[in-house]
Amino acid sequence: MDKILVRGGHRLEGEVVVSGSKNAALPILISSLLTSDICEYHHVPDLMDIHTTLKLLAGLGVRVEKVQSAAGGMDLLLQAETITNLRAVYDLVKTMRASFLVLGPLLARFGEARVSTPGGCAIGARPVNLHLKGLAQMGAKIERVHGYVEASAKKLKGARIYLDLPSVGATENLMMAATLAEGKTIIENAAKEPEIEDLGAALIKMGAKINGCGADIVTIDGVDRLHGAKHDVIPDRIEAGTFMVAAALTGGDVFVQGARADHLDAFLFKLREAGAELSVREGGIRVKGNDRAGSVDITTLPYPGFPTDLQAQMMVLMSVAGGVSVITETIFENRFMHALELNRMGADIRLEGNRAIVRGVENLSGAPVMATDLRASVSLVLAGLLARSETEISRVYHLDRGYEHIEKKLSKVGADIKRVKA
């Protein structure tokens, strides 16, 4: 397994380019199951999770073709013309829980599906009860047999669904299912993330009748069939936020090309409150760090609140800020594992339930550390950028799931970072 070595103490300066959004691309690629026509997607990030999704779709019978991409990322052609298999097996779903999103489209178009339940993961139990409850309300017969969901429905019917939690995945699964259902579906307390809006935009290009994507109530009028479409995936707001924290914590001056202020409101507010100087430009955001960040309190919330996927990154900045910060994680029950690794690098973080009390220290010191989940692993890279001595990060496959060539992008703006084959 590869390792990443980082030697800190360098101010980051220059320009970094944000890739396409992993969490928008995953459901959008899966939505190609809803038509037998060709779908063309641009700016798809070259990530492990994307390749896992393409393998999953190919296993169902989707024709997948990569076309040469002029800009960054991958341009893909997908065509679900002859679906030969309606099963998503455990091996694939357990490596990437977003595979569970094939359930809605398979049910809607083919009337049946057999999908492994994703099971828990490092950051929490992550149940799928809201996905299943919504599909059952749309008339699907749902059975859970040996860790699989066996679902069938002659024809899904529109329903009025209230989500107990604004679940991103449940909103996406149910939105896709509803596009081909009979009648109107109303999803209340829907997730409002930009990735939901991007999925909605791609579905509408396919002929779906959807209103309210990105708001609390999404309304979908089912149609008989969807046709092919061409769609450019939005930039990855979490990758953008990660690079902005890197600039702030090294006292650097970086233009993050592709960063969209309208996708990062709460985060930008907190980064400014911590003392970073931000200027929103055409096509990106310039970030100038000061000599030491100020401490700020953070509570993660569903969008448009502060994103849980940027919590670990901000914890690094707070670990060397002047003062004490309280970080409250309300989305996942076990998303502080990076705190234990940061403490090994000299941070002073005390965990109390879903609260982390972060007392800023002068600096961090390099150490051998281990990645545990995607965003925790990138927080260790950020910590390495700070620490004067060398930090060695193992299990970087977690990193490769969500960050496209991160060591190349950070080296380009002055970081001393390299990947070594273990």
Indicate which residues carry an active-site annotation.
121
Whose tokens are 């579906």? That residue is 185
Query: Which one among 236, 309, 329, 404 touches ligand EPZ, defined by CB under 6 A?
Result: 309
Q: How far is CA 386 from CA 79, 238, 331, 363, in A?
A: 46, 20, 28, 7
Token pair, residue 84, equals: 């030969």
Least CB distance to ligand EPZ at residue 78 (A):
18
- Residue 20 near ligand EPZ by CB under 6 A: no
d(CA 149, CA 134): 14
With residue 59 as reference, give the H or E element that holds it.
Answer: helix 48-60
Query: Which one among 31, 189, 308, 372 touches ligand EPZ, defined by CB under 6 A?
Result: 308
Mask 318-337, x = binds ligand EPZ (CB under 6 A)? -------------xx-----
Between 130 and 367, CB nearer to ligand EPZ: 130
Taken in order 170, 372, 293, 404, the sign of the CA dihedral is: negative
Whose tokens are 């600096």? That residue is 363
Strands 63-67 and 74-79 come out as antiparallel
What is residue 108's three-state secondary structure?
helix
Residues between 116 and 135 that touch ligand EPZ (CB under 6 A): 124-131
Between 131 and 286, CB nearer to ligand EPZ: 131
Least CB distance to ligand EPZ at residue 225 (A):
27
Between 223 and 266, CB nearer to ligand EPZ: 266
Mask 185-204, x = binds ligand EPZ (CB under 6 A)? ------x---x---------
- Crossing angle for the helix pair 265-273 and 311-319, to the nearest 10 degrees: 0
Q: Provide DSSP, 117-152.
A: ----BTTB----HHHHHHHHHTT-EEEEETTEEEEE
Between 16 and 174, CB nearer to ligand EPZ: 174
Least CB distance to ligand EPZ at residue 413 (A):
23
Least CB distance to ligand EPZ at residue 104 (A):
12
- Range in contact with ligand EPZ (rule: CB under 6 A) among 10-18, 165-173, 217-225, 260-268: 165-173
Between 316 and 331, CB nearer to ligand EPZ: 331
Neighbour tally for 282: CB within 10 Å: 4
d(CA 74, CA 415): 26
Binding-site size for ligand EPZ (CB under 6 A) equals 25
d(CA 284, CA 170): 31
d(CA 156, CA 174): 11
Instruction: Write out the residues near ligand EPZ by the rule CB under 6 A.
Output: 23, 26, 98, 124-131, 165, 167-170, 191, 195, 308-309, 331-332, 374-375, 402
